[in-house]
Amino acid sequence: MSDVDARIQGIEDTLKKLLIIVEEDYFDELITHPCGIARLLCYKSNPTPENAQEKSEEQLEQEEKLGLGAHTDYECFTLLLNSANPGLEILLPTRLRNS
């Protein structure tokens, strides 16, 4: 088994362990042609527009938190660590926001 194959198998195994509320083969049809991409992303926040211009570059750097503007994830699953960074919102297909 190549390194890439082993990593893909590891991702598939992790997915199945995380989602124990569904049948083990529930996602198999979605993983028929895996691209082998796993990314760990860390985003810095944008300063609040209403007061960003009043602060120095040094003040803004000291206040930085992790964050990302509005976007859509198209991956099979996304793991989020958000406990120290308030503000995560999910826009459901019904256009209702959940915080």
Element (H, E) at 98: strand 97-98
Amino acid code (one letter) for 15:
L
- List the Cα angle 24/37/71 in 5-degree steps: 95
Given a contact cutoff of 8 angstroms between Cβ atoms, the answer to whether 66 and 45 are in contact is: yes
Is the pTM here over 0.85, yes or no? no
pLDDT in tens, 39-94: 666 665 555 555 666 777 777 666 655 556 677 776 666 666 555 656 666 666 67
| Beta bridge pairs of residue 91 | 97
Locate the domains of the chain by residue range.
Answer: 1-41
| 16-19: Cβ within 8 A, 24+ apart | 18/77, 19/77
Tell me which of 85 and 9 has the higher pLDDT.
9
